[in-house]
Copies of this chain bind each other. A is one copy, B any other.
Amino acid sequence: MARAPKTLTHIGKRGEAHMVDVSQKAATERIAVAEGRVIMSAKTLRIVEQGDAKKGDVLGTARLAGIMAAKKAHELIPLCHPLLISKVEVEVTPDKKLPGVRVRASVKVTGQTGVEMEALTAVSVACLTIYDMVKAVERGMRIEGIRLVEKRGGKSGVYRADEP
């Protein structure tokens, strides 16, 4: 794992927030993978899966919401740079062991900053969409474990999260 700086790069000299200057960074290929999960009862998961088996809609809707949200990360997160994302892939997988649904997003760019926030935003909004579509059945669902799984490209090199 690459060494991280020990200062908050978004905080200016006098403490005010600002968008950091990335103009001197090289435009290289950068990849980020993030994940998260929505925890629900086994009964709710069955309803989601049956719906999905027949129609694909809860999971398919969450997948699209995640993809579209990746393109909006810089609008939502104040100090995030706009980027020309070259790929977004969101996987939404029911998992009986949780029980619940696992979400994994992978984003690629050729640019001057990384796409961690795009991948994390895709995961978050996909999870929120699952919650929205299933909340009438179970309000007590929780979104857990949203984290960066992997990051490649850029000066800070490769990052890979510890398992699990």
Interface residues on A, range: 35 or more
Contact (Cβ within 8 A) A143 B128: no
Instruction: Mark out the residues of chain A between 36 and 82 whose CB falls within 8 Å of any chain B CB in the assembled complex.
Output: 36, 47-48, 51, 54-58, 60-61, 63-65, 67-69, 71-72, 74-82
Contact (Cβ within 8 A) B56 A56: yes
A139 CB within 8 Å of chain B:
yes
When chains A and B are docked, how far (Å) is the Cα of A90 from the Cα of B76? 15
Contact (Cβ within 8 A) B55 A19: no
When C-beta atoms are compared, the residue in chain B nearest to A114 turns out to be B135
Number of copies: 6
Contact (Cβ within 8 A) B137 A77: no
When chains A and B are docked, how far (Å) is the Cα of A108 from the Cα of B134? 22
Q: Indicate whether A61 sits within 8 Å of B86 (C-beta atoms), given known contacts A108-B23, A124-B143, A140-B161.
A: no
**Which positions in A face B, CB cutoff 8 Å?**
4-12, 14-23, 29, 36, 47-48, 51, 54-58, 60-61, 63-65, 67-69, 71-72, 74-91, 108-112, 116-117, 120-121, 124-125, 127-129, 131-148, 151, 159, 161-162
